[in-house]
Structure formats: C-alpha cells, structure tokens
Amino acid sequence: MSTSARKLSSARQYLANLRGGPLTFGGMIQSLREADEISQAELARLLKISRAHLCDIEKGRRSVTAERAAALAEAMGYCVNQFLSLALEDQLRRAGYSRKVKLFAA
C-alpha cells in the first residue's frame, strides 16, 4: 500500500471514529466541508445545486452518481477515488451488501 493510500485509509478511519460508525459519503462530505470551514450554501453554489439538495446528500437522504461524487471531490480539492469509493459503498449498503470499495487507475 502506498503512503498516500495509507494516509487516506487513516483519515477515513479517523472520520468514522469521530462520527461513531461507518463513514458514509454524506458524512464525509459534511465532515470535510466543516473542517474546511465551507458553508453548505457556499459549497452548493460551487456545485450548482440547492443547499437543500446538499443537505439531503450529507444526511444520506439522497445518493449521488459517480459524476456527482467526482464533481464534489474536484470542487472541494480532494481525491476523486476516495469520493467514488464511498459513494459506491453507500449504494452497496443500501442494496444490502456490506462491502468496502477500493479503486485503482486502469
């Protein structure tokens, strides 16, 4: 495992521990947004979505597509693979599969 992959894994575990359970895509977005001191309204403007839509994503009431996950990562300046992995894990969890997803460049 590369150093950057270990850092991502450590950060993901840290956020999961802070939140008291498995890290969800929405939970990660909210935690990173708050750590970066970005308001929901500001991030929603960057993404060209409503603040209510962003709130629904953060609270897990809406799932996101791979395209939306990548757009969020780019807008926030984070690793696209990490965002895609968590978005896919959320979709699998909703379908009844408890799986971890790791993405590698093709």
> Which among 23, 98, 52, 78 has a CA at the least distance from the CA of 69?
78
Contact yes or no for 86/21 (Cβ under 8 A): no
CA 52/CA 32 separation, integer angstroms:
18
Q: What is the chain's pLDDT, residue by residue, as a tens digit (106 residues)? A: 445 445 556 666 666 666 566 789 999 999 999 999 999 999 999 889 999 999 999 999 999 999 999 999 998 999 899 999 999 999 999 999 988 888 887 7
Domains of the chain listed by start with CATH number: 24-106 (1.10.260.40)
0.85 exceeded by pTM: no
CA 45/CA 5 separation, integer angstroms:
30
